[in-house]
Every structure is written in structure tokens, then in C-alpha cells.
A and B are shown apart, each in its own frame.
Chain A
């Protein structure tokens, strides 16, 4: 007698699977192995990995590093937030706090930087507009990611982790100059974010 989901099967229900079940189980298993293999593969061959180097940092120590960084490379100001133009290859900092991304970063296209993300109060979310690159920003942790902007433009950093009632106003900015631009030249104040300009 066949069983349904509500019948108590009598002894002897440990039977060989149906042929089509075996086929499907094999397909599913192989596919799950592909899903698995893609991750190490991308670490070896792909350009986008969330690895970084990760360290604990006291919020006040992180704030001090950011302040020092801003003083060293400050080149201007936008909407009251300092604009900082660090040299290619350097360590750069972006601090999340209620409800501000600090400072505005000015980078060179195709140069590599080590971006340190952390928060000095609650969790925040780093979302790079319009590229849709996302990282969790957690207080007490320094997430150091090596990044290479592959396109020039005027980008935005949206906060996409709820961080209190001002969450929606938390919008930062990253400006990427084409290769070879002189640091210190004028910043397009009202450029359209992510525009092709």
C-alpha cells in the first residue's frame, strides 16, 4: 500500500528510491557542489571579494585616526564636510556616525587604496551608488578593504543599515578623478552622482 503524508507507514518503508528521484538527487547534489566551488574560485580569479583585513578598533581610536587622516590630506569642503584627497596606494578612512559619512573622499581612477570602514556609534551600511557595492559597518571593527575605482565620476555612499531616525539623511560622497588629474583642482560641487561626465 502506498502512503500519504498523514499515513503511518508500516515497517519496511526504507526502500530504494525511485529512478527519477535518484536522477534529481544527483543533479541537485552536483549543482550544490558547483555553488560551493564558485566561491573559492572567485577568491582566486575574481576581482570582487569581501575579504579585506579585519581588526578590532575602539571607536574613539578610529575617530582619532580619521581626524588625523583628514588633517593630512584635506583639499576642500563640500556641504560642510571636508574633502580629502589621499595619494594612490594609501590607507583611506570612511567613518559612519549618526547620520553622516565622514569625510568626502577624492580618489584616482584605477589606483588601489585600502579603505577602512568603521562606525563610532551604531551599525551602518555602506552602499556605493550607483554601483551597488555593499558592506556592513560595525562599531568596534575596522574593515580594511582594498578597493580600485574602475570608473571616474561623482559617487554617493548611501547608508543602508537602519541607524536611527536620521538614517535616510545619511548620504556620503566619493569623487573619482580620471587618471592623472592634479590633486587640489576644483571639485564639481553640484555634479550629478554617478553621471557619465
Chain B
């Protein structure tokens, strides 16, 4: 018998205010505020539209970088690359995160949205801002890539659109904080906020830091584009990356929160230690602000001391936080499964895990690719000197397609399979396809980003229309290995694009044409149309603490996780020092 007690949700449900503004979720017993429902839906739908636009752009860019096809001309290549970066990194990710903020506050805390009307104002600002940016990009008035490094110049509405979008996001972040206050005051929950909400809170705090940097750079740049003031190109890069880097930290904090959420929903993962996980989230806030330095390691504006201090002290404590989560997330899954009776051997819990649940597989794939590929490459390239052999080569997009795409976007996709039944109250369309989607997307992007990183180590530049240099004054022919690696990259990217297309097909069909869920949440009624966690509800059964888990010698009570993180550590050390070795072969420079 597994040592579990059930029924803790009844307690929370009974304390929530009963009114027509709320509906009671038949799966979780939580009462869901109807405007939270609507705001989550609206943001999620727009996020998916951005993903679709960004995805089409991705295929066009990919088929151009694949020299064998070389689809677009130079003008449209850079234009579509700008569209890809903006839609994916800014619009898709941020609209989705707005939905996550409403979910983590109003839904998880059983609370009303503090200011739903204002929520719609924020949403409208974001949509209008994004619309202006899209219009500028498509009409060829903003061929500046998403970083828009001054003095490359876009037409003023481009910057104004970004500002409106950011103000809208700031409004939503404010509503998130206000909702937490309302929930506390109205006592909609007991004790502390759940870990997932806590993680979202850190993401929201970092979002404020980010948006302040955003204002500090986009407002002057807007004025500059109108001819009203000067902006120094190096200061621009410094402040822009204050925005650009901290926004990646929002993504990481949101992604890790979703890891905990997916673990809870799909297998009832426990939090091994609330203190450790929460401290790790706090480290993100405390140590991230100056990590923009690792985008400026080979820039002329800053000295070595500034670079070393800001990458080490500030960045490595955030790295440490990610390493902690990288342990506690799988450890929570392992412990949760062991407490539920899957105690066989070292990896019995993994073998018996629900690999067909797209929420669970997305979780595992996201953790693994984010950690092993994105994390290791990122920390290595973010080292002051190693950056010399990485900056602006394909190693960089190779790195971040493993973090923000295979990590963050994958986690977002995984949670969608739970959001469709729990928030949209629809069955997941083409559920058979949904079971495969995380694998197709993740494996495609894994091949893509590894090949891209590899091509970059030959020096192949990022953001480059034609690496055969037909229009250049001199000849340059990369080694034939590069052609091969770029071919592999293209195939991986296309597989990933198929996975992305599957996701859009499934979500759009479910939301707009899907079969309603009904009120019967039994296995018999739902099997094969939603992820199993929706009807098995492992997160409602909390194991008691008086059960001691078996000790596996030096590997302790979570031996599987211990082995996995040891493999990770070994890979990290090898990759890191191999790069120092590679660096030592190049020309002396100092």
C-alpha cells in the first residue's frame, strides 16, 4: 500500500467565496474566477498566434541558412529573421507568461483577479504594441533584428510599439502582485503560497527589473529615432542586455515553476524541501541584474574587472540556483513516485513513469535538454575568455535554442495539455498525436541546436545570409564538414518545426472545435482524450511524512536522481575544460 492521504482540496474549496463569478473545477475542486479563465484564454490564444507567425518565419530562415536551398534574398532574410526573433522571444513567450501569472495567482490561490478590467487594458496595450511592431517589420521599416542595436535605425512606431507592449506587460505584473495581496487578505489559502506561485512571483519581480531596463533603453531610443537625442551604441548594448538578459531569467523562473507544476500534475511529484527550492528562486532575483555582462565580454566599453565580477559573482550564483532546481525537480519526481509505491531498484520509478503523458514527457525533455545542452553551453560561453571563441557565431543561437526553445517553450507546450482540460474545459484533440508531440519537437530541436553549436565552433557566423560569400572581395570556403553539419541542423530544425506544427494543430483544434469535457472526471469518461493526471489527480494525494524511504548506500534516498546529476556534472566539467583547451590554440591576444 502506498502511504498517501487524500482530500486536502476539500479544505481549500470550502473557504472560497461562492458566487456566480466563480466556477468549481471538477478535477481539482479549486474554484476558478471566470475573469481569470477569460484572461488566461485570451493571452494563450495570442501567444499561439505569435508562435505560428514565428514558426513560419523560422522555416523560411532555416531554409535560407541551409545553403543548399538558400530560399530568401538578403533583404527578406534579415527581415524574416527580425520577425522570427520578435515573435518567438518576445510575443509568444511573454503572452504565455502573462497567462502563467494569472494561473499561478488567481487559479492556484482560489482567488479573484484583483483588477480584471485593468487586465484587459494591459492585454489591449500588449496587442496594440505587438501589432505596431509587426506592421513595421513586415513593411520593411524595421530591418534591425530584435536587438535593434543603435545606430541601426527602425522607424519610430517600432520603438513605440515595444514601449506599449512593455507597459501592458507591466500592468499585468502589477495585477499579479495585487492578486497575491487580495488572496492573503481574503484568506483564500492557508499557510504560504504554493511553490509554483512563489516561482511565478520571482519571475514577476524579475519582470519589473526587466521592464525598468526596457523603459530606460526604449524611451531614449524612441526619442533618438525622432531625432531628439543621442544614444551611445555601447551604452545601448549595456542597457539593452539589462533588458534582454533579465528577460531570459524571467523565462527560466517561469519554466522552473512549470517544471514543479507539471511534476505535481502528472505524477504527484513532491517538493523535497521547500526551503531549498524557494531559496534557489530567491537567488535568481538577487544575482541576476548584472548578468547582462556575459553579452558584452568581448566589447570595447568595459574592463576585465567589470567583466569578471559581473559574470562570476552575479551570474554563478544564478547558475547555482539552476543547478539546485535541476536536482530538486527530478528528485521531487523520484521521491513522489517512491512514496507512491514505485520503489523498485534505482530507476524503477522512471521506467514506470507515464511516458505517454505529454505533460510528463515534456517535463523530462525540457529538464534534460535545458540542462545538458542549454545550461552547459551557456555557462561555458559566458566565461570571459571562452567567449572569444563563441561570440556571434552559430554557437550562440545553438545555445539559446536549447534553453528558451527546448527548455522554456517545451515546458509551455507541456503545460498546455493540462490547461486545455483544466481551463478551457475541452478534451485534447488528436490526443494520440499529442502523446508524440513533445518527443518530435524536443528531438528535432536537440539535433538542431547541437548541430548549430557545432557549426559555430568552426567559426560560422550567426545572422548571416550567405556563408559562401559570393559578393565579397575575397574568397572563403568553409570546410566541407560545415555543409554537412548545416544540413543536419536543417533537418533537425524541420523536425522541430513539425513538432511545433503538431502543437498548433492540437491546441487550436481543441480550443475552437474541441469536444467539451463534461462534468464526469472519471477515468472511464476521459481516458485517451486528456493527460492521465487530469483524472488520476496524483497532486491531491499527499503522502504522509512518517514513511522513511529506503537508503541506497551512498546514493541516499533518491539514488536515480543522484546518478543523473553525476552524469550531468561530468559532462559539464568535460565540455568546460575542452573549451579552455580550444581557446589555448588560437592567436595570442590580450
Q: Which of B361-407 contact A (CB under 8 A)?
A: 379, 383-385, 387-393
The answer for the CA separation of A192 and B189 in the assembled complex, in Å, is 71
B209 at the interface (CB under 8 A from A): no
In contact, A1 and B469 (Cβ under 8 angstroms): no
In contact, A123 and B275 (Cβ under 8 angstroms): no
The answer for the CA separation of A165 and B74 in the assembled complex, in Å, is 6
- Chain B interfacial residues counted at CB < 8 A: 120
Specify which of A50, A158, A169 lies most central, judged by the most chain B CB atoms within 10 Å of its CB: A50
Contacts of A117 in B (CB 8 A): 300
In contact, B587 and A149 (Cβ under 8 angstroms): yes
B152 to chain A, nearest CB (A): 5
B258 to chain A, nearest CB (A): 9
Q: Which of B428-477 contact A (CB under 8 A)?
A: 457-459, 461-467, 469, 471-477
In contact, B473 and A136 (Cβ under 8 angstroms): no
In contact, A48 and B589 (Cβ under 8 angstroms): yes
In contact, B271 and A156 (Cβ under 8 angstroms): no
**Chain B: which residue is nearest A136 at the CB level?**
B299
**Chain A: which residue is nearest B471 at the CB level?**
A169
Q: Which of B250-299 contact A (CB under 8 A)?
A: 257, 260-261, 263-265, 268-276, 296-299
Set B271, B273, B586: member contacting A133, Cβ < 8 A? B586
A91 at the interface (CB under 8 A from B): no
In contact, B5 and A140 (Cβ under 8 angstroms): no
Q: Which of B547-581 contact A (CB under 8 A)?
A: 555-558, 561-562, 565, 569, 572-573, 576, 580
B539 at the interface (CB under 8 A from A): yes
Specify which of A6, A163, A190 lies most central, judged by the most chain B CB atoms within 10 Å of its CB: A6
Q: Could you say which of B37-45, B313-321, B521-529 contacts chain A?
A: B313-321
The answer for the CA separation of A188 and B398 in the assembled complex, in Å, is 36
B323 to chain A, nearest CB (A): 4
Contacts of A80 in B (CB 8 A): 473
The answer for the CA separation of A127 and B562 in the assembled complex, in Å, is 41
Q: What 1/0 mask marks residues of chain A from 23 to 60 whose CB sits below 8 Å from any chain B CB?
A: 11101110111011011101100111111101000000
B112 at the interface (CB under 8 A from A): no
In contact, A6 and B539 (Cβ under 8 angstroms): yes
Q: Could you say which of B18-26, B173-181, B231-239 contacts chain A?
A: B231-239
Q: Could you say which of B113-121, B125-133, B190-198, B346-354 contacts chain A?
A: B190-198
Supposing A9-B192, A49-B590, A140-B234 touch, asked if A170 and B472 sit within 8 A by C-beta, the answer is: yes
The answer for the CA separation of A117 and B196 in the assembled complex, in Å, is 48
Interface size class of A (residues with CB under 8 A): 35 or more
In contact, B476 and A2 (Cβ under 8 angstroms): no
**Chain B: which residue is nearest A116 at the CB level?**
B300
Contacts of B580 in A (CB 8 A): 38, 42
A125 at the interface (CB under 8 A from B): yes
B535 at the interface (CB under 8 A from A): no
A positions within 8 Å CB-CB of B: 1-11, 13-15, 17-21, 23-25, 27-29, 31-33, 35-36, 38-40, 42-43, 46-52, 54, 78-81, 100, 112, 117-118, 121-123, 125, 127-143, 145-151, 156, 158-173, 190, 192-193
19 contacts between A and B (CB under 8 A): A3-B194, A4-B263, A9-B194, A10-B192, A13-B192, A17-B273, A20-B561, A31-B572, A43-B304, A47-B590, A122-B151, A125-B391, A133-B587, A134-B389, A151-B587, A161-B149, A164-B143, A165-B78, A172-B474
B positions within 8 Å CB-CB of A: 5, 8, 12, 74-75, 78, 108, 143, 145, 149, 151-152, 189-196, 232-234, 237, 257, 260-261, 263-265, 268-276, 296-304, 307-308, 311-313, 316-317, 319-320, 323-324, 327-328, 331-332, 335-336, 339, 379, 383-385, 387-393, 457-459, 461-467, 469, 471-477, 539, 542-545, 555-558, 561-562, 565, 569, 572-573, 576, 580, 583-590
4 closest A-B pairs (Cβ-Cβ)?
A5-B260, A160-B461, A143-B300, A171-B472
